[in-house]
Amino acid sequence: MPDQTVPETPQPLPPVPSDVVAEADESGPFTESPWLRRLDAVLAVQRPVAVAHVRRLRRRHPKATPEKLVRMLEREYLTAVTAGGAAVGASAVVPGIGWGISLALSGVETAGFLEASALFSQSVTEVHGIALTDPDRARALVMAMLLGAPGASLVRQFAGEALGTAPARTAFWGELVTQKLPKTAIDGLMGKVRKQFVRRFAASQGASILGRAAPFGIGAVVGGAGNHALGRKVVQSARTAFGPAPAAFPLDIHS
C-alpha cells in the first residue's frame, strides 16, 4: 500500500443535504451546518501530517530530487484514489453486500478521496517550501484544486478584487492562496470557493455513488476510472498552482 494515507479511517461523508445545496445557489453566506463542518474537517489535514509524509518518502528515496519527489507524490496519490474507487465498486459483486451497504461504503470512500487530495495538495506545498499552517488557506487550496481551471480562475479574480490589482500573468495561483492574500481576505475567498465546490460536488456525487454501486463488476470500473480522472485533474491543478519544483528541498523537510 502506498504512503498516500491519512492517520485515521475517514468517517463517511453523506450526500450534500438539500438545504446546503440551496444555500450554495444564493449570494449570501452559508449557515454553518453539521455537513459543512464535516467537510471542513475532511479537508483540513494538519501540516505535521504532510511534513511527516514528505519526510518518509524522502527517507525511502534519498537520491530523489524535488521534481522526482513531486512525481512520486502524484503517482502515489493517483494509485490510492483509483484503488479506493475500484474497491468500493467491486463490493457490489460480493455476496451479501447490497446496494445499501455499497452506498455506505461509497460515503467512506468519498471522504477518503477528499482527505487524500488534501494530503497530496499540502505535501506538494511543502516540497515547494510553503508552510501551510492556516486551515482556511488549506481548505481553499484543496477545493480550488478539485474545481480545476474554474477554481484557479476564481482565485485570480478574487485576488484582483482583494489586492486592488490583477495578479501578474506569471504568478502562480497557489501562492496567492497560501501566501500572498492577506488573512482578512481568506474568509471571503473561502466563501466563494466553497459555494462553487458544493454546487459541483452535489451535482456529480449522486451519479458517481450510484455508478460505484452498480453490480456485475461495472461499479469497479466506474469507481476506479472516475476517481482516476478526478485525481488527474487535481494533479494538473497542482502543477499549474505552483509551477516547476524547486532546485533544492526546504530545510523543514530534510530527512
Per-residue pLDDT of the chain (255 residues; tens, 9 = 90+): 444 444 455 566 666 677 777 777 777 777 778 878 888 888 888 889 999 999 999 999 999 999 999 999 999 999 888 875 544 444 444 444 443 444 443 445 577 788 888 999 999 999 999 988 888 899 999 999 988 888 998 888 888 887 777 666 667 899 989 988 888 888 888 888 888 888 887 766 554 544 444 444 444 444 456 677 788 889 999 999 999 999 999 877 765
User: How many other C-beta atoms can be found within 10 angstroms of the C-beta atom of residue 136?
Assistant: 15
Q: What does the pLDDT read at residue 238?
A: 93
The continuous run of DSSP H or E covering 220 comes out as helix 218-242
Q: Please provide residue 143's backbone torsions phi and psi, each rounded to the nearest 5 degrees.
A: -65, -40
CA angle 169, 150, 4 (to 5 degrees): 100
Distance from C-alpha of 78 to C-alpha of 84, rounded to nearest angstrom: 10
Residues 6+ apart with CB under 8 A from 102: 88, 91, 92, 212, 213, 219
Q: What does the pLDDT read at residue 6?
A: 42
CA angle 159, 120, 204 (to 5 degrees): 75
pTM of structure: 0.78
Q: Where are the beta strands (DSSP E) in the chain?
A: none
Please list, residue by residue across 103-116, b when 16 or more beta carbons sit within 10 angstroms of its beta carbon and e when fewer do.
bbbbbbbbbbbbbb
**And the C-alpha cell for 25?**
445557489
HSE-up of 133 (CA within 13 Å, CB side)? 2
Distance from C-alpha of 235 to C-alpha of 243, rounded to nearest angstrom: 12
Q: What does the pLDDT read at residue 180?
A: 85
Positive or negative torsion for Cα 42, 48, 131, 68:
negative
Q: What does the pLDDT read at residue 14?
A: 66
Residues 6+ apart with CB under 8 A from 232: 78
Q: What does the pLDDT read at residue 20?
A: 73
Q: What does the pLDDT read at residue 218?
A: 41
Q: What does the pLDDT read at residue 104?
A: 41
